[in-house]
Each structure stands twice: as C-alpha cells, then as structure tokens.
Chains A and B, each alone.
Chain A
Amino acid sequence: MDLSAIEISSLRKYYGKTRGLENATLEVKEGEIYGFVGPNGSGKTTLTRILLGLIHSNSGEAKIFDQDVKKASVELNKEIGYLPSEAFFFPEMKVKDVLRFFQEMRKVDDSRVLELVDRFDIDVNKSIDQLSFGNKKKIGIVVALLHSPRLLILDEPTTGLDPLMQQTFLDLLVEEKKKGVTVFLSSHILSEVEKICDRVALIRDGVIYQVFEMSEIAQLENKKVSLFPALEGNLPKGMTFIKVEDDLTHYSYVGDINLLLKRLSQQRFDKCTIRDASLEEIFIQYYQKEGVSHDVL
C-alpha cells in the first residue's frame, strides 16, 4: 500500500479578505515527484508555507508523514528540505560560513555538503551579497538537501538557474526519488514538471482544479502541426485548427499519426512541422474542453 507523504484536506487560508487557498485537498504518495502547478499568486506558496508551519490555515487539515503540521512542525522540519522561491541568506557572511551554520544546525557531516558544493560548482569563499539570484538559489538547494531529507518541498526551484544547472538539479531530483525521497515541487514552469513529475495538480486562485497522472497525459498522443500553406479541404478526424501566426497555420492533432501523414502527403507544403504538444498546450486544450478559462496557466 502506498503511504502518504503529504495529505491535505479541505484546507482553507485567507489573508484578511484575500483568498490564499480554498478547500484544497490533495495527497502526495511517499516516493513520488508531485508537481504543483499554477500561475504566480495562485496559492502555491501559501500551501508550501502552511506545510512548513510558517503560516497557519484557517480550517482544514494538513499532515506530513501522518503528523499534523501545526502540532509537529519541529519534528517534521527534521525530515523536510525546503527551497524557497527566492533564497535569502545572511548577506554579509561568506558562503562557507552560511553552509557551516546549516550543517551544524542540522548536525550533518562534511561529506554530503562537499558533494553538493562540488556538484553545483559553488564558490564557497564568496560572500552572499556578491552572489547573483541564481547562485543564491544554488546555496538554497544545498541547504535544502544537506541533511538528506525524506521530503523535499521546492518552491519554483529552477527559476534563476542556468540551463546546465537546471539539468543538474533535475537529475539530482530523479536520483533522490530513486532513494525513496518524496518531492513536492511547486512551479509555473510546465517544462520542468513535464520532465520529472509522476503526478501534477493544477491550482488557480487558491482552488485546486485537477490532478493528472503524467503517464495519462503521455498517452494522449497529442501533436502540434504547423503548415504553410494551410491544409486545403476538410480537416481530418482528430485535427483542430488553432491559429495562424507568421504565415504558419497551427493545428492540434489527436489520433493515429500514420493517418495524418497519409492526409498531408496529398498536398504540397513549403513548411511542415509535427511535434509532441507540450504539457502547457495540453492543459490549455484541456481547460478549453472543460469550459475553464484558458488563461488558467
């Protein structure tokens, strides 16, 4: 039986009259990478902070490893590694002193810290206020991971990282997952969610709309087709016109790719691109189908 790493039910949080979360319910299984996706201000950080005990919900329940986050936050924080969306540390201190502080607070030995520092190519002799946003983020990653937590809570983890570091980080998450670590990843960047998540929940305006299994999405075989000139005659079954942009006519296609190729071979094109639809495009299509505003993402 799958154990739950995070369980929230009917969670509600208002900041005065402003909605932070409304009746949020979700479950993250132990050992999975769970994406929590939504636009800025949708409630992702609110949920993250409730889970960490930094803010308190108005009603509902939030549990991590079957313990109430309000009552057991000290014990739970031993098991959690947290990366905030913007990592702030003590500005006048050197990186090595900051890392030493967290290492001693978490009571961990040098080897893990050195391994992470080496992996993320961190200059430990620089002072924090000399670091760029991305380099501070790398320190944040080391701080989140240095005590080998059972649960990683990551808020917009790759923002500010260069593409190489993004890949290093995503690879590391996959390695952590293999060790049994649960990852709760909040993001508005669907491409990173697409790469590594097992499941993804969509949130907007504090409301969780839908939870998808990534494997289900992959089975949709949703393609994007861009053509010049446009396809003449009736569109084949499964093909939908999207828009015309820069001379190209864009379509979506769901169905047997061979049937599509056969239909396209009946006409001459100057430009023709067929690619898998991104997660973002699939979600937009999903919401249009379900009658939810397409700007949900």
Chain B
Amino acid sequence: MMFSSRLFKLEFSRSFKSLLTWSLSIGFTMAFVIVLYPMVIDIYSAIPAEYQSFLDAFGGVPHNVVEYYATEGVMMLQLFGGIFAALEGYSALNRDDKEKTVECIYQLPYSRSVILTTKLLKVIINVMLFSIIVYLMSLLSFIIIGESFDGVKFLIFNLYNTIMFVVLAILGFALVVFMKPTQKSMGAIAFPFVFYIISVISSVTNNDTLQLLKHITPFTFANPVDILKLGADFEWISFVVFVGLSIVLTILAYWRFQKREFTV
C-alpha cells in the first residue's frame, strides 16, 4: 500500500475548513470582478490614449469579458491562489511539528514514505479542488452576466493555472523537508510573491536580459494575458523547468525525509 486512506481522510478533514475559506473567498472575489464587467466596460473607451499605452504593459485594454478577466481579475487569483497553494504544501508537514503531533503520527505502523505520499496526495487534491471551485464560480458569473466567451480557452487557462498552483504547492511541500522543523510559515508566503514579481518585471520590461527572467517563474506558463488575450504560443521552457523541478524536489524530499529526525 503506497498511501493510507484513513490518514488521508484525517488530513483532508483537518484542512477542509481552510480549503473552503480560501476557495470561497477568492471565488467570490473573482465572481465580483466578473459581474462588474457590464458596468465598467465603458470606462476603457474613456481612458486617454497616453494612459492606454501604460495599460498595454499590463495586458492592454480588454475587448471582451474573458480578456477583462485576464487583465483585471486573474492577478488576484494567481497571487492569493499561489500563496494558498504554497501554504497548503508547506503546512502539510510543518503542521505536525508545530502542533507537536509528530510522535503520535510517526509511531503508527506506516512507513515515512506512505505518510509522505498520503500528505502530498492530500495537498495536490486540495489545490485542484481550490481551482475547480474558483473555476466554477467564475464560470457561473460569466453565465449570470450573459456575456458570450470562449469556454475552451477559459478551460485551458485554468488547467495551466492549476498546474502552476500544484507546482507551487510541491515547492512549499519540499521546502519544509529541507528546513528546520520549527521554521515559521513566512517562507511559504514569500516565494510565490517573489515568483510573481519576477513575472511582472519580465513582462513589463523591454530589456532583453530582464525578459529572460520569465523562464524562472512558473507564472509564465500560466500567463493569463498570453493565453486568454494574445493567444501566444505556450511557454514550454517555464513549464518544463518548473514541472521538472517539482519532480526532482519530490524525489529529493522522499530521500531526505527518510533521514529526518523527529525531535519536537
């Protein structure tokens, strides 16, 4: 048996409230942004031309509801969703140290690999559920305002976005294994933010060197403006780098976790 269904049930039920809080908060925020579209669409045509060039750096003026969603809404989803994913990954192991439940979990007749796999699976499922809830709430909001939109494009973006969240969750998960057990969770909040800033810098600059930074952030392969507005080619480099990094870190985390000393 590679994982414990009973431990999974415990872990899932313990994190369910947090999952609901994050998903509904961000889901409602996204829904709110989307239902505002019919009321704010006229504002864009009133923006003076000199400001429009400034807006171009952040995705430009939207011409339909999905483009509006990409330029105005997704920033919050990606930033806060990224923090949720990283925290989810980070706290899956860190919580046992923090609550000093390490001894009661690891004295059970299950190998460390089984426990790690169970926790990792719970993290990935929670992140996917978060994405699905936010996706469905956004979809419902599109339907409510009665605007036509490209559902396939919207779905594809959300798939890449979910993969990006899973990557951040795995980075958070692996980070804990290599850090001291007593480490605070601030690190988990910081790194999605750093990746996001790198993504913004690489997209607003005209400097060729700075533009290369886009390859070292997972936000690049789930860039909403590229996917939903510009229809740009998929950013394979960023995708391969971060999916590959996640796989390598997961393997290293399993190796390192076998040697971990539970002294809390």
Give chain A's interface residues, CB within 8 Å of chain B. 15, 49, 52-56, 73-75, 77-78, 80, 82, 84, 86-93, 101-102, 104-106, 143
Contacts and interface: CB of A to CB of B under 8 A. Distances in A.
Given A104-B6, A105-B108, A55 B101 contact: no
Q: Is the interface of A mostly helix, strand, loop or mixed?
A: mixed
A101 B10 contact: yes
A43 B60 CA distance: 66
Contacts of A86: 100
B263 A90 contact: no
Contacts of A88: 99-101, 103-104
Contacts of A73: 111
Contacts of B110: 74, 105
Contacts, number: 61
A55 B262 contact: yes
A49 B263 CA distance: 8
Contacts of A84: 103-104
A89 B107 contact: no
A55 B107 contact: no
Interface in B93-112: 99-104, 106-111
Contacts of B111: 73-74
B12 to A, nearest CB: 12
B261 A56 contact: yes
B107 A105 contact: no
Contacts of B6: 101, 104-105
Contacts of A56: 259, 261
A74 B106 CA distance: 9
Contacts of A15: 263
Contacts of A89: 101, 104
B4 interface: yes
A77 B262 contact: no
- Most chain A CB neighbours (cut-off 10 Å) among B100, B108, B259: B108
Nearest to A104: B6
Given A77-B107, A77-B108, A90-B101, 20 more contacts: A15-B263, A52-B103, A54-B103, A55-B262, A73-B111, A74-B110, A75-B109, A82-B107, A84-B103, A84-B104, A86-B100, A88-B99, A88-B103, A88-B104, A90-B99, A91-B99, A92-B14, A93-B14, A105-B7, A105-B108
A143 B104 CA distance: 9
